[in-house]
Amino acid sequence: MSRPELIRDPAAWQRRCTDARDAGTRIALVPTMGYLHDGHLSLMREARVRADARGRPGLSLATIFVNPTQFGPTEDLARYPRDLDGDLAKCGAAGVDLVLAPDDPGAVYPKDFQTWVDVAEVSKGLCGDRRPGHFRGVATVVAKLFGLSRPHVALFGEKDWQQLQVLRRMAIDLDMGIDVVGMPIVREADGLAMSSRNAYLSAEERGRAVAISRALGEAGRRAAAGERDPVALAAGIRAAVEAAGMRVDYVELAHPETLRPVERAVPGTRVLVAVFLGKTRLIDNVALP
């Protein structure tokens, strides 16, 4: 399939999307920070299906923008991987029609920008506590992209589970009328969750990283066998990843929507993990069977 049309100017993008929506076109959106992998492409392929779901061609959109407001002062904004040419080719193969890729953060956050979106409760704990301001930046940029794109449906990966719940809550609370869809985590053959940050790992670190998904899988098996104590399940995960030379940021068993810690592990409880492997922070999660 041909490469999608690239639009750099958010105002031009907004006009294009508004005209399409006003003409009755169904719009599906996949916001990304680029450096695309098969996880992103699974979202884009599903966006193509959902855009065309009403029996006539819809509009499948993707955005590529490394959002500075969701990075803390000591985080990896400057070295976050980028490959716009490669990303555009991948978007085309996945059926994307248009890509918004602003070449200057000032086009998204103009001078004197002062409006922020805070999603209060579901942003607490987990990454919300470890990365202050992160979800404010995520919610704000996605709210702007929703306003610019006017989608009927927006798709996000379940690997960033807390982010998904934040954006669902935002769309509900602000009456956005957008179906925020979570798509399953796409994994490497050995189980490692696909992430743009995997590119930071050395070959030796990459070999150790698989311990994360294996520990989550073992927790699921223990729960299926009858273990209901979240402390015991979390301790098993912590021990396994620490044995592989990783530093645990958190291991939590939480309600899948509110993300509040649970006193008893039941089917559907979300098990969420964040670790540091060298200088790279990796996250993963599963639902208990």
Q: Dihedral, CA atoms, 161, 167, 169, 172, nearest 10 degrees?
A: -140
Q: Which residues lie across from 56 on neighbouring strands?
A: none
Of the listed 37, 40, 134, 152, which one is catalytic? 40
Q: Give the separation between CA 269 and CA 186, rounded to whole angstroms.
A: 20
Q: What residues contact residue 60 under an 8 Å CB cut-off, 6+ apart?
A: 28, 30, 44, 47, 48, 51, 95, 96, 97, 98
Catalytic residue list contains 40:
yes
The tokens describing 168, both together, are 């669902």
| Residues catalogued as catalytic | 40
